[in-house]
Structure formats: C-alpha cells, structure tokens
C-alpha cells in the first residue's frame, strides 16, 4: 500500500504566484535561466538555479551556489512572498495545455516506500546528479522540486478530487508554453481522511519524472536518520514532495534523436543499411510524425522518410526490447551509426517533442547534424510494464508535458 501524507506547504501569496512560479531546474541551462529571471527578483529560479545570482562561469556545484539558493529561499520567506500553511494540507494541482488536462494530488510520499519498491522506478540515476539534488535539499532544508508520480487510475480517488475542484482555487495562472496552472488547498480533515483511505488501497506508485530528486531524498533520509539517535520514522525527512497523477491522464510526448554524422557512410550506403531492418519510403514532403508504435520518421538531406521496423527485427514480448527507443537503438543507431552507448556518445543529441519536428529540420539543415529521427511516444502502459518487471528503460525514453512549475508548493524539512 502506498503511504502518503499531507504537509504544511510553503507557498507564494496568491498575488505573487505568477511571478514566483518558474520552470523546473532541469529544463533551462544557466544562461536561459538568467535571461528568464532578469528583472524578477522573486522568480523561483533564484532558488532552483541560484548560480544566476553569481558571476558567470561560477562552478555550478560549488558551495557558494547552494548557499545562495538557501539565502534566496530565506529572503522569499522573510519578505512575506512565501508563507507556510498553519496546518498539514493536501493540494490538488490541475494542469491544462491546449486540449489536454490532468489533475494530481500534491502530497509527500514515503521514502521507505521508495526503498521497498512500492514506489517503482524505470530509470538509472547518475551519482553526480544525485549529489547535486542531495546538497540542494540539505542547503535549503527543503524539497522544492516535486517528483512526478503516477498510479493506476481509481474512480474513488477521481470522485474525491472532482468534489474538491468544486471549490475556489487559490491559484489560477498561465505559465510557459501557455500552460494553465490551477491549485486547490485541501485542509478539511474529513476530506484528508478520505484521501488517506483511498490512497491506502493503491498498490504501487510509479516515478514518471524525477528519479534524481527521489533518489536524493532517500539519501538525505538515510543521512539524517543515521545522525538522529531519536529517529522515529515520522520526521519530515522520511517523506518527499510529490504530485501524483492517475495514469490515464498522463501525456507523454515523443523524444526524438539527431546524429552528427553517418558513421563514414555515403547517404546511399546509409539508406541501404537502414533498409535491411526497416521498410523505407518517402513521406511525401511534410515532416513525418509516426502515427503508430514501431514506425519512425527520418530526416536526411532535406527529405522526410517513413521507417517501419520489419517483422522479426525485435522481440515483441520483451518489455524493453519492444520499446521504439530500443528498436531504433539496436537496429539502426548502434549497428549502422556506431552509437554503442547513447548515454555517453557525443555524436547523438535528444530533442523533446515540445520543440516540434521543425526543430529536427533546423538542426539538420544547420549542418550541425546529418540525420534526425522522430519517434512515436512511449505509452504509459509500456512505462508501467517496465517498472513492474523491475527493468530500466533506455535513456531519454519519455518526455512528459505539461511540466509542473517549481515554487508552487515547497516541503520544508522540520
């Protein structure tokens, strides 16, 4: 059973929310964050990307950066920009992007559940990124970036959340990419008890996005537990900030690839090699977004092609090998283009679907890359199947949209 609980959220006053809320720390580089926060001293980027307030070129992992983040969060609190709720609450967070809408519960989830695989993962984490997030949490004594969790949809939870949304929201603002963010505070003890009871019947939660944040929270818990002889398991460091969405509402976009060269092959020789494991045809001029699994688009020399994986070229019964990212890697990127490890090979780059297929064309037409591949999005059922099998997805398999804003609700570690 999944263990979640309400908490005393630290959040902006309603009149400041649109100025404070910012993109997640990992979707902007330092230069982009510096430009976006320019002229806005209360942007949460000053907390999540505090290097923007230090000289350019500052080591991103230096103690000064983490200290600056803590200082900036303290300033937002001391200036009354962010205020902590007086009692533990849940929060309902609705995201709307175009015609897509999803509604999740903001809660803190159990680190022990994470350790026991009741909260399931599908990605490897990197120690350097874990170290960064762990130090960030310690320096702020708070978790500011929520982990994006999902679960198999339940009608009883949907009904409770639908009733909550009959009330007036505390926030309703539009952020990047014209995404509408709406937040409701759930402080009524009877409703909190209903949510507790309903989520106690959820067998598993799944990390959709935020593997490094959840791993870092677990490491913070382990360190603080070891240093606390009076540890009970109820301390706030035993939980991590999460927003929990039902699987049927999740929106996964394509995660596309561009490669710098053809591995020494001429375009004709490259096309011949690709044709060994894919059925290849021209797409008719327009950018090609695959309409089904196991179909791919390829942009080469100004022309879009359709690729379809040939029967028998992959194991359709294996939860990893039947993923389109695996099929492309094992049947084309590795044997034809010589990309053995997409995690480390500098010849490949990844482009989230939010940027559109025009970005693939731009990168190839610029001459910086030779070929681009568009993929059908990984499905949520595929993700859950991989996690249930205790397997790990290939890198850059999923791109979730819309993104949660940072700074909407913060979990302070008492």
Using an 8 Å Cβ cutoff, are 396 and 345 in contact?
no
The string of pLDDT tens digits covering residues 7-41 is 999 999 999 999 999 999 988 999 999 999 999 99
pLDDT band at 1 (very low <50, low <70, confident <90, very high): confident
Mean pLDDT value of segment 297-317: 96
What pLDDT, on the 0 to 100 scale, is given for residue 351? 95
Q: Is 255-376 assigned to CATH 3.30.1760?
A: yes
Cα(90)–Cα(8) distance, integer angstroms: 9
- Sequence spans of domains, the chain: 4-251+402-412, 255-376
What pLDDT, on the 0 to 100 scale, is given for residue 395? 84
pLDDT band at 205 (very low <50, low <70, confident <90, very high): very high
pLDDT band at 285 (very low <50, low <70, confident <90, very high): confident
The string of pLDDT tens digits covering residues 209-259 is 999 999 999 999 999 999 999 999 999 999 999 999 999 999 999 999 999
What pLDDT, on the 0 to 100 scale, is given for residue 18? 97
Mean pLDDT value of segment 375-400: 93
Helix%, strand%, coil% for the chain, nearest 5: 35, 25, 40
Question: What does pLDDT average to over the chain?
Answer: 96
**DSSP 8-state class, residue 331:** I
Using an 8 Å Cβ cutoff, are 305 and 280 in contact?
yes
* Partner residues linked to 92 by β-bridges: 105, 184
Angle (deg, nearest 10), helices 211-226 and 127-140: 60
Cα(130)–Cα(310) distance, integer angstroms: 39
Cα(305)–Cα(365) distance, integer angstroms: 15
The string of pLDDT tens digits covering residues 110-155 is 999 999 999 999 988 889 999 999 999 999 999 999 999 999 999 9
What share of the chain in percent tops pLDDT 90? 94
pLDDT greater than 90 at residue 177 = no
What pLDDT, on the 0 to 100 scale, is given for residue 266? 97
pLDDT band at 78 (very low <50, low <70, confident <90, very high): very high
pLDDT band at 274 (very low <50, low <70, confident <90, very high): very high
């Amino acid at each position: 059973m999944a263990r979640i609980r309400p908490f005393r959220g630290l959040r902006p006053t309603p009149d400041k929310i649109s100025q404070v809320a910012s993109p997640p720390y990992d979707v902007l580089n330092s230069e982009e964050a510096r430009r976006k926060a320019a002229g806005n001293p209360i942007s949460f980027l000053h907390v999540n990307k505090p290097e923007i307030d230090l000289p350019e070129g500052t080591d991103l992992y230096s103690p000064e950066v983490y200290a600056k983040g803590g200082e900036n969060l303290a300033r937002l609190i001391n200036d009354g920009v962010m205020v902590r709720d007086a009692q533990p609450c849940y929060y309902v967070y609705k995201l709307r992007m175009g015609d897509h809408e999803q509604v999740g519960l903001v809660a803190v989830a159990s680190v022990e559940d994470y350790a026991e695989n009741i909260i399931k993962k599908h990605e490897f984490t990197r120690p350097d990124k874990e170290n960064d997030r762990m130090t960030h949490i310690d320096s702020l004594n708070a978790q500011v970036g929520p982990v994006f969790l999902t679960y198999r949809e339940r009608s009883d939870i949907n009904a409770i959340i639908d009733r909550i949304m009959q009330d007036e929201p505390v926030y309703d603002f539009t952020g990047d990419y014209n995404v509408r963010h709406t937040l409701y505070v759930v402080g009524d003890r009877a409703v909190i008890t209903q949510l507790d009871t309903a989520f106690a019947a959820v067998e598993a939660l799944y990390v959709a996005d935020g593997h490094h944040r959840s791993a870092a929270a677990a490491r913070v818990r382990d360190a603080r537990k070891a240093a606390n002889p009076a540890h009970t398991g109820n301390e706030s460091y035993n939980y991590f900030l999460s927003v929990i969405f039902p699987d049927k509402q999740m929106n996964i976009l394509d995660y596309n690839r561009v490669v710098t060269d053809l591995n020494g092959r001429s375009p004709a020789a490259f096309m011949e090699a690709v044709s060994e494991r894919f059925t290849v045809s021209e797409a008719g001029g327009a950018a090609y977004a695959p309409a089904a699994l196991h179909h791919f688009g390829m942009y080469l020399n100004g022309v879009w092609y359709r690729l379809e994986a040939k029967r028998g070229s992959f194991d359709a019964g294996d939860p990893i090998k039947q993923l389109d990212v695996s099929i492309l890697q094992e049947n084309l990127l590795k044997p034809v283009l010589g990309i053995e490890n997409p995690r480390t090979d500098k010849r490949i780059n990844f482009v989230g679907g939010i940027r559109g297929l025009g970005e693939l064309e731009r990168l190839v037409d610029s001459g910086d890359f030779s070929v681009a591949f568009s993929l059908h999005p990984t499905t949520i059922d595929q993700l859950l199947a991989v996690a249930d099998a205790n397997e790990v997805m290939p890198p850059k398999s999923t791109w979730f949209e819309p993104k949660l804003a940072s700074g909407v609700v913060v979990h302070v570690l008492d």
